[in-house]
Amino acid sequence: MSAVDDAVAGLRAGQPVLLPTDTVYGLCVDAYREAPSLRLARLKSRPDSQPVSLLAADLDVILDAVPELRGLAAVRARALLPGPYTLVLPNPARRFRWLTGERPETIGIRVPDLHADVKAVLDRVGAVAATSANVHGGTDPGTLDEVAPELRAVAAAEIDAGELPGEPSTVLDLTASQPAVLREGAVPAADALARVS
């Protein structure tokens, strides 16, 4: 089997896999089931109250999963994605409750510029729950060798895209009338806000 097949099989089995994004390596699980997402938090030693983003190869996959995003939220998202952003958007139906942390009325989404092998994985499985492949509070990995050994050991599969920038995505909250930067990352805050003003 290829690395793509291994990653697809791992995700379908509820196992974590390591996938490169356009910023850092991510630890990813099946987003459509609660149990893998809860395991993801335990593996990273992070509180269940922290949100995890819904990541897909195409915004339309996310719109199918969270149809309430169609309209203004989708228009704003299309202005930025694909790219090195995590967007926090309204989630009025409180979908994917296991990913939303303490703010179930919102959901974080991510549509990165993807390596061809990762796109092939996501084209087969849909969206994944994705977070940086580090232990809570650790360094964001720009290479597979920088992934915490305990996470790499439990991953069912990994895709190596070489060295990535190593700077996490910029997190933009688009739930209020004025956008807000929750975390400055790969895109400087001023540049990110200028894109959605």
Give the pLDDT band of residue 1 (cuts 50, 70, 90).
confident
pLDDT at residue 48 in the model: 81
Cα–Cα distance for residue pair 71/90, rounded to 1 Å: 11
Span 49-77, average pLDDT = 95
Whether the per-residue pLDDT at 169 is higher than 80: the answer is yes
In this structure, of 69-73, 86-90, 113-117, the range with the lowest mean pLDDT score is 69-73
Q: What is the pLDDT of residue 126?
A: 97
**Distance in angstroms (rounded) separating the CA atoms of residues 114 and 122:** 10
Could you tell me the residue range of the domain that residue 117 belongs to?
3-189
Tell me the average pLDDT across 11-15.
98
> Domain for residue 176, yes or no?
yes
141 located within any domain: yes
Q: What is the mean pLDDT of residues 10-22?
A: 98
% of the chain beyond a pLDDT of 90: 92
The structure's pTM equals: 0.95
On average, the pLDDT of the chain sits at 95
CATH number of the domain where residue 171 is located: 3.90.870.10
Range 5-30 average pLDDT: 98
Mean pLDDT of 98-112: 97
Q: Going by C-beta distance under 8 Å and a sequence separation of 6 or more, which residues neighbour residue 150?
A: 43, 135
Mean per-residue pLDDT for 77-103? Answer: 96
Backbone angles phi, psi at 9, to 5 degrees: -60, -40
Write the Ramachandran bin of 26: left for phi over 0, alpha for psi from -120 to 50, otherwise beta.
beta
- 16, part of any domain: yes
Q: How many domains does the chain have?
A: 1
pLDDT band at residue 49 under the 50/70/90 scheme: confident
> Which contacts of 59-68 are long-range, i.e. CB under 8 A and separated by 24 or more positions?
59/109, 59/111, 61/122, 61/126, 61/127, 62/109, 62/111, 62/127, 65/31, 65/32, 65/95, 65/96, 65/126, 65/127, 66/91, 66/93, 66/95, 66/96, 66/107, 66/109, 68/92, 68/93, 68/95
Residue 114 belongs to a domain: yes
Task: With respect to residue 196, please indicate whether it lies within any of the assigned structural domains.
Answer: no
pLDDT at 50: 92
pLDDT digits 0-9 by tens, 137-166:
899 999 999 999 999 999 999 999 999 999
Query: Does residue 197 have a pLDDT over 80?
Result: no
Q: Does some domain include residue 194?
A: no
Domain presence at residue 134: yes
Q: Is residue 184 part of a domain?
A: yes
**Is pLDDT at 47 greater than 90 in this prediction?**
no
